[in-house]
């Protein structure tokens, strides 16, 4: 039995896992030509991609804490910085394997989205 895509899950009224949402966001971030793998990024740099992913799937935007926890579950290194240093007080390092997984997940979802639209 084939696993339903994210878009099929949405049509069926199922919730999206935070990790799937973030994989899509990280893949979209890379699709825009941004370097993600193995570099430290402020969470603020990823917020736009996260926002676009939540808009794409019509779900509520993740809080900084939810996003940080989900990124850690995916295997990213996340560290908190003092709130006076940054508005979104987290720094993230995404391993190359997770970045590659995100790119693949994003491409799969985009191709299923376009085939669903046909």
What pLDDT digit, counting tens, does each position of 27-86 carry? 999 999 999 999 999 999 999 999 999 998 899 999 999 999 999 999 999 999 998 887
What's the topology of domain 9-109?
A: Arc Repressor Mutant, subunit A (1.10.10)
Q: What is the per-residue pLDDT across 53-64, written as a single tens digit (0 to 9) for each?
A: 999 889 999 999
Tell me the domain boundaries of the chain.
Answer: 9-109
Instruction: Enter the pTM of the model.
Output: 0.83
CA–CA distance, 2 with 50 (Å, rounded to integer): 27
């Amino acid at each position: 039995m084939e696993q339903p895509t994210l878009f099929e899950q949405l049509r069926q009224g199922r919730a999206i896992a935070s990790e799937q949402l973030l994989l899509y966001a990280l893949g979209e971030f890379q699709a825009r030509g941004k370097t993600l793998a193995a570099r430290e990024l402020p969470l603020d740099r990823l917020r736009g991609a996260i926002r676009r992913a939540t808009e794409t799937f019509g779900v509520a935007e993740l809080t900084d804490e939810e996003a940080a926890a989900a990124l850690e579950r995916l295997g990213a290194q996340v560290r908190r910085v003092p709130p006076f240093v940054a508005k979104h007080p987290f720094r993230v390092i995404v391993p190359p394997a997770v970045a590659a997984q995100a790119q693949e997940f994003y491409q799969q979802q985009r191709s299923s989205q376009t085939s669903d639209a046909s």
